Chains A and B, each alone.
Chain A
Amino acid sequence: GAVVSQHPSWVICKSGTSVKIECRSLDFQATTMFWYRQFPKQSLMLMATSNEGSKATYEQGVEKDKFLINHASLTLSTLTVTSAHPEDSSFYICSASAGLANQETQYFGPGTRLLVL
């Protein structure tokens, strides 16, 4: 089946630093990638939709200048959390899609746990 990797799997950083998270589709080309965030014991919430070669579409309440998304190729999307603060500590999960709307599943990466001290 389709595999999506995510790197790093966990990161601890000081407040004010920036953290880059990579999401790669390993064996398929992902037309669209999604970034979700999950706080402890909560559901996954969509942060942004990323299409290769175009600007990401952010959900309401997600600061585009704080969460920079770059989708430079059909197999790689990156999320950079700029000037991270403790409230940004969360589980960040990407997913990738190669299919048509509602006709294919999304394949999830293993997630990145971010802890901001």
Chain B
Amino acid sequence: GQQVMQIPQYQHVQEGEDFTTYCNSSTTLSNIQWYKQRPGGHPVFLIQLVKSGEVKKQKRLTFQFGEAKKNSSLHITATQTTDVGTYFCALGGGNTPLVFGKGTRLSVIA
């Protein structure tokens, strides 16, 4: 089945710095979803991207889907301590099982 590679595995930033995590696939994706998991918590759905070249924003978060629909990124502007957690991209959704990337663990130093 389809798989997705996510990098980096860890990212430590000073509060106020930006953060980006990337997901890449060797095959064209029909969609990609992004989740956030706080330490000790469960994954929380952030967004789904479907269209080629799509860019969506949620406050300080910007999500992009590549033109070829083989890669995606999540960018956080001016990180805050509340952004701490692990960010996962995932393929699938609905009544199709989710295939998660390995996740990027973000720590923010105040």
Q: Which residues of A contact B (CB under 8 A)?
A: 31-32, 34, 36, 41-46, 49, 93, 95, 97, 99-111
A36 CA to B93 CA, complexed, in Å = 13
Given contacts A43-B100, A44-B100, whether A106 and B88 have CB atoms under 8 Å apart is: no
A102 CA to B95 CA, complexed, in Å = 7
Determine whether the beta carbon of A105 is less than 8 Å from that of B48: yes
CB contact list, B77-99 vs A, under 8 A: 88, 92-99
Given contacts A34-B98, A46-B98, whether A102 and B42 have CB atoms under 8 Å apart is: no
Determine whether the beta carbon of A99 is less than 8 Å from that of B94: yes
A106 CA to B94 CA, complexed, in Å = 6
- Which residues of the other chain, A, contact B100 by a CB distance below 8 angstroms? 43-45
A45 CA to B90 CA, complexed, in Å = 11
A93 CA to B48 CA, complexed, in Å = 20
A73 CA to B105 CA, complexed, in Å = 36
Given contacts A109-B42, A111-B42, whether A102 and B96 have CB atoms under 8 Å apart is: yes
**What are 15 A-B residue pairs whose CB atoms fall within 8 Å in the complex?**
A34-B98, A36-B98, A43-B100, A45-B100, A46-B98, A97-B95, A101-B93, A101-B95, A102-B31, A103-B93, A105-B48, A106-B98, A107-B45, A109-B42, A110-B42
Determine whether the beta carbon of A46 is less than 8 Å from that of B99: yes
**CB contact between B92 and one of A31, A41, A102 (< 8 Å): that residue:** A102
Which of B31, B33, B41, B94 is packed against the most chain A CB atoms within 10 Å? B94
CB contact list, B52-110 vs A, under 8 A: 88, 92-103, 105
A17 CA to B103 CA, complexed, in Å = 33
Please give me the residue from chain A that is nearest to B99 by CB atom. A46
Determine whether the beta carbon of B94 is less than 8 Å from that of A101: yes
CB B15 to nearest CB in A, in angstroms, measures 23
- Which residues of the other chain, A, contact B42 by a CB distance below 8 angstroms? 93, 108-111
Determine whether the beta carbon of B43 is less than 8 Å from that of A108: yes
- Which residues of the other chain, B, contact A102 by a CB distance below 8 angstroms? 30-31, 92-94, 96
